[in-house]
Amino acid sequence: MQLYNPPSKENWTGRKSKDQLYLHEKIECKSISAFVASSKSFAILGYSCDQGVHRNKGRVGAKEGPKVIRQALAKMPNHLAIETKLFDVGDLYCIDDQLEVAQSQLSKTVNQLLDKNVLPILIGGGHDIAYGHFNGIKQHLLNQNKRPNIGIINFDAHFDLREDSSGANSGTPFFQIANENDPFHYLCLGIRKDANDKILFETAQELDVTYVDRNTFRIQFAKEINTWIRAFMEKVDYLYVTIDLDGFSSAFAPGVSAPSPMGFSPDIVLESLETIIASGKLISIDIAEMNPKYDIDNHTAKLAASLIHKVLHSEFA
């Protein structure tokens, strides 16, 4: 496979036990073509690409994100059932400025993973991961003769609805998706006025985007937020969730491409994930913008790993 690095067990180390007490002991490193899933399976796929961030004039370094997220997740405890399978299927990467090629390959790979009846967990990498990821989900559903009525839930400070006339980047994925899909179901949680210009707000209005701003996206409003999430989920058959780590306050996530102290906190994201997962509509999820070059004491990597840990253990709780 082009633009593909197979998984390495070197990324999965930690305390040793006799009973698979830790995720590094549970994980199976398999190439995408080699693994066989059970009825309860997860597949971790890296998107080692920050060319979209570079094009968007952001801080590069996110292409190294998948490695450090794995290393943080490896040391976490394993509470999965024995029959539940957890696979690391390696990384896709980008050569030079060939972002569109990497996104196309990502789409094909997500399609392959979903065909194997797993829940893909993608780790990046710039938020341009979203365009390839969504298209892989869409293609899988079309191949299954199912209506691709997909809702996107984005935990983010940014709409990422920039127009793409000069090419795709980490700020354009949902604009691209909107232009290619009607209807377009998009919910943004954590939007900040100090992180989006007025044209982006106008674009969001034109595209009928639903969003909750940062001032409201707080744990004290969890009941209201969950009501809005449930109302959004009723309109769709499948949910694609994307978590941009730069939406969190830099107190929790300093290692990102666009940090800010004004972001949201993990508690409301975890609460929201519970509601989303309980719907039974989650088909795939990714975590974007992990930039280890700027991380402090692995805080951001550990946050990303904890979010994945939550998804792994909520799905089959």
Other C-beta atoms lying within 10 Å of the C-beta of residue 96: 7
Q: Which residue has the tokens 């707000």?
A: 201
Residue pair 281/235 in contact (Cβ under 8 Å)? The answer is no
**Integer Cα distance of 66 and 137 in angstroms:** 21
For residue 28, give the 3-state DSSP assignment: strand
Angle made by CA atoms 214, 239, 180, in degrees to the nearest 5: 90
Q: Which residue has the tokens 């089959």?
A: 316
158 is in an annotated binding site: yes
In one-letter notation, the amino acid at residue 277 is: I
DSSP 160-201: -----TT---TT-HHHHHHHH-SS-EEEEEEE-GGGS-HHHH
160 is in an annotated binding site: yes
244 is in an annotated binding site: yes
91 is in an annotated binding site: no
127 is in an annotated binding site: yes
Other C-beta atoms lying within 10 Å of the C-beta of residue 265: 15
Residue pair 179/134 in contact (Cβ under 8 Å)? The answer is no
For residue 115, give the 3-state DSSP assignment: helix
Q: Is the dihedral of CA 239, 244, 245, 251 positive or negative?
A: negative
Question: Could you tell me which residues are annotated as the binding site for Mn(2+)?
Answer: 127, 156, 158, 160, 244, 246
Question: Could you tell me which residues are annotated as the binding site?
Answer: 127, 156, 158, 160, 244, 246
